[in-house]
Structure 1
Amino acid sequence: MENILKNCAMSMETRLRVLNCYIYPVLMYGSEAWSITTDLRKRLESCEMWFLRRMMRIPWTDRVSNEDVLIRAGVCRKLLKGIRIRQMRFMGHVLRKGGLENLALPGKIEGRRSRGRKRVTWLASIAEWIRNRGENTKEVELLNMAIDRELWHNMIAKVS
């Protein structure tokens, strides 16, 4: 019996390694340019939980909470956090590089906007995430911080 339990634990470890090495990178491909809205955030979180439930063979009819699944797997949510870190690194890279991307990043392009509610911009979604993590900085301050590489890497480490 102990041998079976040992093999199951080894199997779960292997599954988590496959998830982190093969599945997440494919899922996060191009995520540096995503504006993460509430709907997209919910979809990403549910996708992450679906992967864990499938790996642990927990059917949705068992009514096991997400927190219990995370505890059983011995992991924490890291898909959304990984995407945000990639976005922040990309932001620093683009701002230090200069060029056309640097002009488009703040979203100050001339022209008329379409009707309806303003869309969530890429920079605004990153700034909101940073504010939720405890840093009280504005979008303009983020742009200025990203230009200094050392300061920006410290900021990424602090919010992640």
Structure 2
Amino acid sequence: MKTILTNKHIYIKTRKRALQCYIEPVLMYGCEAWTISKQIQNKLEAIEMWFLRRMLRIPWTAKKTNERVLNEANKRRSLVRTIRKRQATFLGHVMRRGKLEHLVTTGKFEGKEVEEDKGRR
């Protein structure tokens, strides 16, 4: 995909679409189950900027800010936002399903309380 994404004869809009259709799904595989810490979020944002810089052929030695690169690409950061949206969608699916995943997520089990458990509360 490098030859397609870095080809100056292909419109930037087409290259961004190729990135969105072919590379981002591979990158985000299984993201619904990820726990995103600040460190992982920074790495995801860095890889998103790395893709854009490669597409625009901006070397890492060029002193261009990320905002400037985003303006040149006419794009906003969207990778982390997309992952969060997919996680929320998956959580909604789990909560509506009402099976084992729902029980594990909520921690609510139906049944009788054991007498010795009542005394501890």
Is the shorter-chain TM-score for this pair beyond 0.5, marking a shared fold? Answer: yes
Structure 2 equivalent of residue 104 of structure 1: 104
How far apart, in 2, do the equivalents of 1:47 and 1:14 lie? 19
Across the aligned residues of Structure 1 and Structure 2, the Cα RMSD in angstroms comes to: 1.8
Structure 2 equivalent of residue 58 of structure 1: 58
Question: Which structure: greater helix fraction?
Answer: 1
User: Could you say if the C-alpha distance between residues 78 and 9 of structure 1 is closer, same or farther in structure 2, counting changes exceeding 3 Å?
Assistant: farther
Give aligned pairs, total: 102
The alignment status of 1:85 with 2:85, answered yes or no, reads yes
Residues 26-73 of structure 1, C-alpha deviations (whole Å, 9 max, x = no match): 111100011110110000000000000000000010111000000000
Large movers: runs of 4+ above 3 Å: 7-10
Within 5 Å, which residues of 2 pair with 1:1-160? 8=8, 10-106=10-106, 108=107
How far apart, in 2, do the equivalents of 1:33 and 1:75 lie? 27
Gaps of 5+ in 2: 1-6, 109-121
Displacement, 1:11?
A: 2.5
The TM-score with structure 1 as length reference comes to: 0.60
